[in-house]
Every structure is written in structure tokens, then in C-alpha cells.
Structure 1
Amino acid sequence: MLISLLRRAHRPADATRVYYVGNALVDLFWVLSITLNLVYQVTVVDLSPFELVVVGTVLEATCFLFEIPTGIVADLYSRRLSIIIGVLLIGAGFTLQGAVPALWAVLLAQVVWGIGYTFTSGAWQAWITDEVGEERVQHVFTREQQLSLAATFVGTALAGVLGLVTVQLPMVLGGVAVMLVGIWLALRMPEEHFHRTPPQERETFAHLARSFKDGLATARTRPVVGSFFLVSLFVGLSSEAFDRLWTARILDDFALPSLFGSREPALWFTVFALISAALSLVASLAANRWAGRALTNLHPNRLLAGLVLVQVVGVVGLALLGNMWLALGAMWARAAAQKVAYPVQSAWLNRHVDSRSRATVLSMNGQADAIGQVVGGPPLGALGSRAGIPVALVVSAGVLAPAAAVYARLRPQR
């Protein structure tokens, strides 16, 4: 019986099932680790505002530096190997950050899990696209997004419960659990449609240069790919300020009401995250049910342009509305629009990229976002310090707005 169980554990599973389960579990434990991340850094590690910014900059710089090299690992050696390495490193980074409450450990954790993230960035999508085919992948992306949203809801609630014991507990447990998912993937993840480069042809540095050139050539010759790079740059330029400042906007400008006799920010921000995850899941299910044709359109430029505009309005609403619940509602609308757009964007971009360079091009797209965050975050943060957080948020919305025009101007290719 034991031998039978071991053989079953090592037997590759259905690719679609592994994609659903693997992503859902990683997302669940990821959210478990990061829901109270900023609360932990402020209350336990006692980081100053400047140190908080440094932590974020280290993370984004790590993603920027490693996006292309790790993407080439996925194209040259194995999508599967890249994903497994990435998941293990992500879990190790989360565990380190929660286990050692010191600035050096937090900074090192950003480097470790940032590198891990770049190993998975683009590789998941490239792997499942190869395994199931470009014709079926749109449905798979959409279904995975819905399962991940449900997992996010569970992980957020679990973080709130465990955080009542100690803020560090969900971070450490989440990190260890992510590493266990990496081990499960190593045992069960198939890879039948990827053809690795033969050992005698593995010129790593030469391949790096060729893959980078191939990615740039794809962006130049295929308008959809080049436009995605530009959109990712705009998103990065605007998103870092929002990600760092929305919490401060709520805490500084509104009084948190009593919940079960408590006004504890950790409790309230867990509730806010739960509501956001639930609304995003409902939006994704509703869009899939009543706007399925628009979601599966081979050229969804108008849909994506409209969803970007919803995000712009959401950021402006968070910045300017004087009622806390209305401001939060605007923020949740932004999050829901992002979740609905993600599988549509992924499928559209993957259809315009060749398999041999798919992971590299997707990683370059992620790198454009990282460049935007590194470049755009500090100036908008300084603007928030001088002119106020609402001003910085409005400017960040203005920076994002051109992305809608980029989508809108795209025309179908013959």
C-alpha cells in the first residue's frame, strides 16, 4: 500500500487540474502571509515611513532585475522547473520575514520572495497555454481567476483569525504552506508539450541576448504586444502610490467605527480585504455569465479600455470622496475591474506571442510594470508628503488614464 501511495504521489496529474489547484493554494497562502504584512512591519518590526518605502523599493527593484533572466529559464529549460523554484522561494521569503522581526530580515525576505515571484511570473500562463492550447486557454484563465478569488477570500479571513493570536503567525504559517505547495507541484505537475533546448545548444548568455532581442522584435512587429508593454508601464507608474497610500488615506482622514467593541486597524483592514475579495469574485462571475461574448472576444480593446477607466474613476473616488464607505466602494470597484480584466488581458497577449519566447515576453511585460513602479512611486510619495495623499492619488489616476487610450486605439490585425 505504501509503495502504491508513493507511486500515486509521483504520478503527474491533469494539467488543468494542477493549474487550478496550484494557483488557488498559492493564492490562499500568499494572502494569508501578506494580509497583515504592513501592520506587522509597522507594529512589530517598528519600521519608519522611510524604511517602509525602502522595503517596497527593494522588492520592486528585485522584480525588475530578475524578470527577464528567470523568464528565460522557463523558455530555455522548463516552465515546470521555473514555477517550482519560484513557489519554493516565495514561501521561504514569507517565512523569513515573519520569523525574524528585524529590518535586515524584512529586506532579505523581499529579495528572496521577489526572485521567487519572477520565476513564476509569466511561467504559469506560458505552461498552461502550451499544455491545453491557445484555443482553450481563455476559459482556463477565467476559471482560475474565479477560484483564486475564492481562495483569496478564505486566506484573508484566516489571516484575520490567526492575527488575533499574533500578527506574525499567519505570515509564518502561510510561508511554510507555500513551500509545501511547491513540493506538491514537484510531485504532480506534468509538462508534456514543452521541448527544452538540447544541452549542446544551451548557450545561456547568448540565449539571453537572443531572447531579449526576440522579445523586443515581437513588441515592434506586433502592435498588441507593444501596446501591452506600454500599458504595463502606465499601470506601474500609477499603482505604487496607490498601493502604499490607500491605507494611510483611510487611517488619516476617517475614523474607524467600532466592530465587536474594537477599532483595531488590523481587524478592520482584514474586513476591508474580505469585502474587496467578495465583490471581485461576484464581478468576475457576473461578467462571465452576462458578458461572456465580450470576455472571449479575440480583440477586446473596448472592454479593456472601459475597465481601465473604471479603475481611474475608482482611484479618484478614493481620493476625493468624504465618506469612508463611499471612498472604499470606489476602491473596491477599481479592484473588481482589475480582476475582471486580468484573464482577458492574459489570453489576448498570449495569442500574439510565439511559444518559444512566450515566457520571456510575458516577463518583459512584467518588467515594464516594475520599471513604472520604481520610477513612479518615489515622486508620487513625495507629492503625497508635500501636497497631501488625495492629491497624489488624483495624479496617479491621471497617470493611469492614457492606458485606456492605448487599448482603445488598437485595431484588429489581419
Structure 2
Amino acid sequence: MNPAARRVQRTYLILQLGNTLAASFIWGINTLFLLDAGLSNFEAFAANAFFTAGMVIFEIPTGVVADTVGRKASYLLGTITLSVTTGLYWMLWVWQAPFVWWAIVSVLLGLGFTFFSGAVEAWLVDALTSTGYTGSLEAVFGRGLVVTGIAMFAGSVLGGVIAQATNLGVPFLLRAGVLVVMFVYAFVVMKDLGFTPDRSRGPWKATRLVLSESVEHGLRKRSVRYMILSAPFASGVGIYAFYALQPYLLELYGDPSAYSIAGLAAAILSLAQVVGGVLAPRIRGVFAKRTSTVIVASLLSVVSLMVLGLNSLFWLAVVFLTVWGFVFAVAEPVRQAYLNDMIPSKQRATVLSFDSLFGSLGGVFIQPALGRAADVGGYGASLLIGGLVELIGIPLMLASRRQNDPADTKTAQADAAAASTDTD
């Protein structure tokens, strides 16, 4: 890897580190925070659904910002928006506000995250291309997962411990502060390389044009379309399971006030993510096709969720939580590389945002439905149902695989070799 590409990768990894550290302060206690504010299980996951609805509403407009104004501008807007709305979330908890306000602020939180989705990934791929990088995208995305896994571990453990030592609101204030620090870092260091924003059109015309081109290079291309259409099932269930596992582990542990145990769920997932990110390029090399890697990982995810749903032992839940996190970490960088290799640079951020939009759609409908299932039948039943829902996405992944896109068979052996040489 040449020095310029190494600098790009380093900047990307620091951005991932800061973003994940900020977010993970609350990941281990978010559901407990909402329940402590007086919300029911249904209302808590409905608030999360409004968050993902915000991502659906704003995904394309903010993708247009990244493709027409700049990836850096989109990232900076995201950090400020998230910092402010996280502060508002804390205020709602202090005031024990009615659900309607949680819904409104959750939508605004979704707006903040849509400035990130697609923009940072598109910035990385374009910048690496402009610096002459010829290595494996899986290797870079895998390193990103390792870094985010480490940050997630530190943030989730600290968030749980700090919440237990103080109160459930302090981790939210820490999150807002770290986001301000990341704004300053990105403002100084981040540069749009290999991409020239097109500011010649007005925002509405630009939105229509970029959306049209994104549909052309996204949904109208079968290999991309089927992979995007599979996103709602895995993403919707994944978001729900991540947050439901916090109170579920406490339930199995037998102490509803042990917030540090709730943080354990996120911490375990972070360690599994580190291992999965390291091994993803090598595991991908075992399969002739990238889609095969993703499909096998998805099937193992379904099995893990079903076992978690049927299980009543705390230690066994910890084991299968680890398996679930590991297979996700293996699949994600392979899926990212597969999509990026099928999307032209000019439409990359918006098509990736399109993919994120469909994933968010799953969260809008699946989270409150599974939250209601938890109210009626318990967390175990909701996780079992979630595994069945995720299974629906497998035929769509198989349909993408059948298109035989060149990106699917892109030198598995070469990628695995690049993963080891890129670290030199």
C-alpha cells in the first residue's frame, strides 16, 4: 500500500473509531434508557422504528448532498445533527416526556445518521482509487470492522459501567461530546479525493437526476437489486435483536439493575466483530463467489437467533450471541465490496444510501412488530420470530448470485493474498 493510500485508510479508520465510540456509549443501555423514561416495550421499539423511518425519509436527500456537495460536507452535517439530537434525547429522559416527543426526536436522529450512510464509504473507495490503491476492498472494510469492534467494546462497556455508577443519562452526554470532537477532526483532515462535486444544478433538479441515475445503476441492475431488496429482512431483525438482547440478557441473568451485564451484549458483539473483521477476507477466499459467503453467514445468523429464542440459559445465550456477531462481521465487508464493485463512482454514495434506505425500511416495520411480540410472548419468542423473518431474505440473495456478475467472482484467491500483503 502506497503512502497516500495508507493516509486515506488511516483517516477512514479514525472516522470509524470516533463514530462508533460515540454511538456505542449508549448501545448497551439504550433500551433500558427508554424503558426507564416510562415507555413500554412496544413504545421503546416504536421509537427505534421512528428513528429508522427518519433514515428512510432522509436517505436519498442526504445521499444527494454527498454526491453533489461533497462527502466531507455530508459527514460534518451528520456529526453536528447527531450531537444536537442526542442532547435532546437526554432532555426527554430528564423530563419523562410523552411518546410523541420521542418519536419526533428519533426521526431527527435518523436524519443525522443518513448524512453518514453511504458518504463515508463512498469517500473511502473514491479516495483509495485516486491514490492508486489496487488491493482488496474486503481487507480495508475488514480493518474497519476491527477498529469499530474495538471502539464498540470500549464504548459499550464504559457506557454500562458509567450508567451503573451514575445514571442512564450520562452516556448520552458523553456521546454528544465525542461527536463534537469528530467534527473538528474531520473538518481539518478529511478531503474529497477522486471525486468532484457537481454544483451546477439546483437541489431539486440534482435530487431528481441523482435519484434517476441511482435507480438505473441500482434497482434496474438485477444483481444489485436483489441484494438491496434482501436488506430489510437482515437489517430490520438485526437492529431489533441488538437492542432486545440488552433486557433479555438481564432477564436470563436474573438482575434487572445490572446495567453492566446489559453492556456485555454490545461488548461481546464488538469482540466477535473484531475477530470476524480480521478473518473475513480469508473466509471469503474459501468461496468462489462473494454471495456464497454472505448467504452462508446469513443462514448461520438465522440459526443463532432461533437458538437464542429457544434458550433459557444465560451462558448459552452468551455463546450464540458471539456466533451471531461473528457471522455478521464476516458477511458485512464481503457484501460491501460486492456492492461497491458494481456501482459507478458518481452514483456510489446515493446507491449505497439506497441500500441503507431499504435496510431502514425493515427496521420501521419489523422493530415495533417484534417489540409487540416481546410484550405478548417474551423476548425469546420475538427472537425466534425474528430468525424466521430474516430467512425471507435468503432467496433474494440467491437471485443476486444467479446473475453471475463479475463482481461476485472477483479473484477470491487474489483478494485473500492482498489481505495479507496490505498489512506490510
TM range, smaller chain:
0.7 to 0.9
Residue from 57, 81, 85 that aligns with 2:77? 85
Letter in 1 for 2:203: T
Verify: 1:402 aligned to 2:402, yes or no: no
Report whether the alignment pairs 1:39 with 2:32: yes
Q: Counterpart in 2 of 1:380?
A: 370
Number of residue pairs aligned between Structure 1 and Structure 2: 390
Given that 1:89 and 1:113 are in contact with CA atoms closer than 8 Å, whether structure 2 keeps it comes out as yes
Taking the TM superposition and a 5 Å limit, the aligned residue runs for 1:68-147 are 68-100=60-92, 101-102=94-95, 103=97, 106-133=102-129, 135-136=134-135, 137-147=137-147
- Show the 5 A alignment for 1:193-208: 193-198=194-199, 201-208=200-207
Give the TM-score normalised by the residue count of structure 2: 0.84
Q: Secondary structure at the match of 1:158?
A: helix
Q: Deviations over 1:192-233 (max 9, x none)?
A: 2111114xx313212212222222222344222102211112
CA distance 1:249–1:152, change in 2 (3 Å):
closer
Distance (Å, rounded) in 1 between the aligned partners of 2:286 and 2:75: 31
Structure 1 Cα separation of the partners of residues 405 and 364 of structure 2: 33
Give the residue type in structure 2 aligned to 1:395.
I
Aligned to 2:161: 161
Distance across 2 between alignment mates of 1:220 and 1:231: 12
**2:276 counterpart of 1:278:** no
Match of residue 254 from structure 2 = 256
RMSD between aligned residues: 2.4
> Who is 2:262 aligned against?
269
Q: What CA deviation, in whole Å up to 9, does each residue of 1:294-324 have, x standing for no partner?
A: 48x7x41111111001110111011012322
Cα distance change, pair 84–226 in 1 and its aligned pair in 2 (3 A): same
Matches within 5 A, 1:7-406: 14-43=7-36, 45-100=37-92, 101-102=94-95, 103=97, 106-133=102-129, 135-136=134-135, 137-163=137-163, 164-198=165-199, 201-252=200-251, 254-256=252-254, 264-288=257-281, 290-291=282-283, 293-294=285-286, 299-406=289-396
Change (3 A) 1:95 1:237: closer
The normalised TM-score by structure 1 is: 0.86
Distance 1:114 1:300, change over 3 A: same
Q: Which amino acid aligns with 1:27?
A: T
Report the 3-state secondary structure (helix = DSSP H, G, I; strand = E; otherwise coil) of the residue aligned with 1:14.
Answer: helix
CA distance in 1 between partners of 2:128 and 2:378 (Å): 49
* Whole-angstrom distance in 2 between the partners of 1:157 and 1:364: 33
Aligned partners of 1:209, 1:171: CA distance in 2, in Å? 37
Distance 1:216 1:82, change over 3 A: same
Q: What SS is found at the alignment partner of 2:343?
A: coil
Q: Cα 1:207–1:108, aligned 2, differ >3 Å: closer, same or farther?
A: same
Q: In 1, distance between residues paired with 2:180 and 2:115?
A: 14
1:191 alignment partner, SS class: coil
Q: Judging changes above 3 Å, is the alpha-carbon distance between structure 1 residues 16 and 243 closer, same or farther for their aligned structure 2 residues?
A: closer
Over residues 155-208 of structure 1, what are the superposed CA-to-partner deviations in whole Å (9 max), with x where a residue is unaligned? 12222332212222221022111122112101111112111114xx31321221
Could you list the structure 1 runs, at least 4 aligned residues long, displaced by more than 4 angstroms after superposition: 104-108
Q: Verify the 8 A CA contact 1:66 1:115 in the aligned structure 2.
A: yes
Distance across 1 between alignment mates of 2:46 and 2:240: 14
**Structure 1 residue 23: deviation in Å?**
1.1
Deviation at 1:275, TM superposition (A): 2.5
Give the partner amino acid of 1:284.
G
Describe the SS at the equivalent of 1:291: helix
Conserved in 1, the CA contact under 8 Å of 2:249 and 2:314?
A: yes
- Percent identity over the alignment is 22
